[in-house]
Amino acid sequence: MSLNIITLIKEQAHYFKDDVIADRRHLHANPELSFEEFNTSAYVQKRLKKIGIGFKIIANTGVLAEIKGQKGDGPLIALRADMDALPIKEENEVNYKSGNDGVMHACGHDAHTSVLLGVASILNAIKDEFSGTVRFIFQPAEEKLPGGALQVIAGGALDNPSPTYVIGQHVFPQIESGKIAIPRGTCMASMDEIVVTVKGRGGHAAMPHITVDPVQIASQLVVSLQQLVSRMANPQMPTVLSFGKFIGDGAINVIPDSVYMEGTFRTFNDEWRLEAHEKMKKLAKSLVEGMGGTCEFNIHCGYPALNNHAELCEAMNMIAKEFLGEENIVTIENLMAAEDFAYYSRQRPSVFYFLGVGNAENNITAPLHSPRFNIDENALETGTGLMAYFAFQLLRREQH
């Protein structure tokens, strides 16, 4: 049976390939920022109507749809795609380049959404072949805290009934098109935003002795925080602390009154994460006050670490090998990037896997979040067929 289903799904993925590419190009040309995906949502709704699938709105711009297999009742599998874009000005010169200046699908969510629409097309076409239900979650706002996953979960995306599994995928340009990776265990980091204001007393740069120099204090604070993390984190526990914004806003001969900083803290362990928060706060207060200034040190807790369910990973690796061949299943290192799919993984057994979209021969190698990010669109057929096969086989597996 599996070989016949593999052939059928591959044929369907090829049949719908042009539709998926067209969807991706439309979405790429019309990107919208987090919590603003109104036109994207409307497009998804229009496409679902054309496919013949009912849906409902969730979390303002999210869309929830279901396909019931015609062979009878059974378990429910949820498939998730995110829809939002990033505040990046696109530098690609393609005929589907972003038409929304300063906004770009630089993280591949256009591909995620179009692939999920393609999966819906396939499963709707073969619904006579399976039992159970597939739920499609078109989620807003993965790129911006607090994240759309929390809102769609609160809105009932995992209720009535609760799915047996939740599956998500992400395009990855460092993996060759046609290949995938399914990492095991904790595979993506938690992510917290750090916002700091160091206040001193400004004045003439030639007379620092009558000022309290917040630039010098803040510089020392950045170095000391890095030392704290590197010395107190277990060397076997991946941990990253980075500051990407440092604004003094003085002048060549002016020491400012304050310095503003923003950074990110990421790790894989919940206990160490909270412990590090307290250590950083205490260090900031004592160091800055010891140098004559004051400090506002705020940590905005973001997404938790993402945990792939071990047993489900094993099952999906076997399913992927059946569909793609063992040579097309690769391994990747754990990522310090974060994903709000982690919230699904805290609720139900879940797996988040990576779809290769890179093509060095065609110079498609730019990383995620780059203004030159693009994908090998041949990967869309792979992604569509594989996700449909995952859903089909996991439903079948749960009935045996």
Q: Per the residue annotation, which of 36, 110, 142, 192 is the catalytic one?
A: 142
- State the number of CA atoms in the 13 A half-sphere of 11 facing the CB: 8
Is 128 an annotated catalytic residue?
no
Both tokens assigned to 349:
């057994």
Q: Is 141 exposed, middle or buried (0-12, 13-18, 19+ CB in 10 A)?
A: buried
* Beta bridge mates, 181: 330, 354
Please state whether beta strands 165-176 and 350-358 pair in parallel, antiparallel, or not at all (unpaired): parallel
Is 381 an annotated catalytic residue?
no
* H runs (alpha helix) in 16-97: 17-29, 38-51
Exposed e or buried b per residue across 290-313, where buried means at least 16 C-beta atoms within 10 angstroms of its C-beta: ebebebebebeebbbbbbbbeebb
| Residue with token string 């792939």 | 308
Closest CA to 348 of 311, 379, 321: 311
**Under 8 Å between Cβ of 392 and 129:** yes
Q: Per the residue annotation, which of 84, 339, 340, 381 is the catalytic one?
A: 84
Distance between CA 239 and CA 230 in Å, rounded?
A: 8
Both tokens assigned to 138:
């078109």
Catalytic positions are 84, 142
